[in-house]
Amino acid sequence: MSSSFDRQQVSFLSSMSAAAAKLGSGAGTKRSLAPPSPSPSVGSTTSAAAAGSLTPRRADRDTPVGNIVYSQPALTGTGDSIISQMAYAVSWLRGKDEPQACADVLGYLSATTRPEHEQEFFVDQMRRNPQIQWIPDPSLSEQTWRSGTYAHRPIIPGVKNKTQLLAYLQKKTDASGVSVKDLKDGWPDCDSTITELEQDHRVLVIRAKKDGAARIVWLDDSSLFHEIDPQLKLMWARVEVPSVDNIVARLVAAQQKPASEDPRLKAAQAPKENKKKKTQRRTGKSTNLHMEHLLKDYSHMKR
């Protein structure tokens, strides 16, 4: 026991003297050193050497540890793909009242610093997009990829105010309504105008039950609207309407001929027919003629 304790004491004193020498030699440097930890025992150092060093590397110690969410992408922003950039271009052009030049669109997307072939490819895709209208430059005989202006092409073109909406509804040749969602593609703030026209009985509107938002719009004629006398509404509310079960009996009691008889009474008075199931005799051509000699009855030949 004493010899083992002596060895541990000698090991501890030697480690302390080595640490003191390091502190003395590094006093002139600017880096501050943490006080050395006590040296482990002989048994612990032996087990640590056998199992491998558990001290983290310097690169691991210098790496800051934070709340890293590995389920999220490292880079977030507006997106760099051609599809996402095209969506931003359409949304930006939707809010503009006048056509925009190619340089203005690329400048909004911060794409002017990209290579020229990438810009040309994006402009070509813009001209192919059904939601974007390309207006060629009339002063040029031959168009380039930088020429012309661009504007948003709405689903319902030319409808951005009250007069244009009524004119569009009047030009319709069928009885279908106009979707408010399609109207908002080119006229985002059309809700107030639709409500105003509905109050003036110039349009018919179907609204959602959840939030009352307008869904479909039809043309209405204000000359067909007549205000009903409140006294007549009150009298109509007091009228007692008989139920379906006794409406025929009430009409007969009032010596009035019903427009149609009660189908339930007619079905109850109708005699029930006893339909007997008829068995049909099977008549068919025998297909086993080649086996008739085998199917003959030979029971009379038994002894």
Collect contacts of 118-125 with beta carbons under 8 A, ≥24 apart: 119/145, 120/145, 121/82, 122/82, 122/85, 122/86, 125/82, 125/86
Within-domain flag for 121: yes
Identify the top-confidence range among 68-77, 213-222, 244-253: 213-222
Of the three residues 152, 182, 208, the one that is the final residue of a domain is 152
146 in the same domain as 110: yes
Q: Which residue has the higher pLDDT, 87 or 52?
A: 87
Please check whether residue 64 lies inside any domain of the structure. Answer: no
Residue 199 has pLDDT above 80, yes or no: yes
Sign of the CA dihedral 283, 288, 289, 291? negative
Mean pLDDT, the chain, integer? 78
- Separation between Cα atoms, residue 90 and residue 152, nearest integer Å: 7
Q: Could you tell me if 98 and 133 lie in one domain?
A: yes
Q: Are residues 86 and 143 in the same domain?
A: yes
**pLDDT tens by residue, 11-49:** 777 777 777 666 655 544 444 444 445 444 444 444 444
Predicted pLDDT at 44 = 46
Tokens representing residue 23 in the block: 């502190």
Three-state secondary structure call for residue 216: strand
Could you give the number of structural domains in the chain?
Answer: 2
In a domain, 12, yes or no: no
End position of a domain, from candidates 209, 224, 239: 224
Q: Tell which wins on pLDDT, 269 or 194.
A: 194
217 and 190 housed in the same domain: yes
Averaged pLDDT, 257-281: 69
Q: Which of 110, 133, 152 is the last residue of a domain?
A: 152
Other residues' Cβ atoms within 10 Å of the Cβ of residue 119 = 19
Ordered DSSP codes for 132-156: EEEE--TT-SS--TT-SEEEE--SS
3-state secondary structure (DSSP) of residue 86: helix
Handedness of CA 13, 15, 18, 23 (dihedral sign): negative
CATH number of the domain to which 194 belongs: 1.10.10
Residue 94 to residue 136: CA distance in whole angstroms: 19
Is 288 domain-assigned? no
Question: Considering the domain boundaries, does residue 268 fall inside one?
Answer: no
Q: Give the pLDDT confidence score for residue 286 in this predicted structure.
A: 63
N residues, the chain: 303
Q: At what angle do helices 82-94 and 116-128 cross, to 10 degrees?
A: 60
Task: Judge whether 248 and 261 are in contact, CB under 8 Å.
Answer: yes
For 188, the domain range is 162-224
Q: Which residue has the tokens 């026209």?
A: 197
pLDDT band at 7 (very low <50, low <70, confident <90, very high): confident
